[in-house]
Amino acid sequence: MPTIVAGRPAGEARGGRMMPERCRALAKSGKPCAAAPLPDGLCRWHSPTWEAKRREWSAKGGAQRSNANRVRKQIPDGLLTTAELRGLMGLVLKGVIAGKLEPGVATAAANVARAMIEIAKVVEVEERIAELERAAGIGRRSG
């Protein structure tokens, strides 16, 4: 635990300023932490008074990460069929309702699913056109 003089903002001790603009700690990269500081001169990621909260956050983050991994493991490799995609979105929906998956993850998954469906539609139409053209003996115009 860093030594902080009680009742005295760290910025003042360093030379006149009431509050430092940035957290006094170093980030993991070794660069000064750019986060806004709390009155003790450290940001909420570095301040010892936020330790308990941080642990809570990282536990939550860990749970979310493992949920994301669990969903990922249920995704088959390669292309998804519409049925697979529908099943996957069902899992995502269940996860959100059960509170196991963050709504943001579900939104992202839904966006990707929508994009995949759009691509599939275009591919299907192109394949059908190609088939019709082959049947009509006209072939595909290039360009």
Quote the least distance from Cβ 63 to Zn ion, whole Å: 24
Q: Which two structure tokens, joined as six digits, stand for 83?
A: 């049925």
Q: How far is the CB of 33 from Zn ion (least distance, A)?
A: 3
**Looking at 43, 85, 88, 101, which residue binds Zn ion (CB under 5 A)?**
43
Nearest-angstrom CA–CA distance, 1 and 15: 22
Judge whether 62 and 80 are in contact, CB under 8 Å: no
Letters for 58-97 (x = contact with Zn ion by CB under 5 A, - = none) are: ----------------------------------------
Name all contacts of 46-52 with Cβ < 8 Å and 24+ positions apart: 48/1, 48/2
Residues that bind Zn ion (CB under 5 A): 23, 25, 33, 35, 43, 45-46
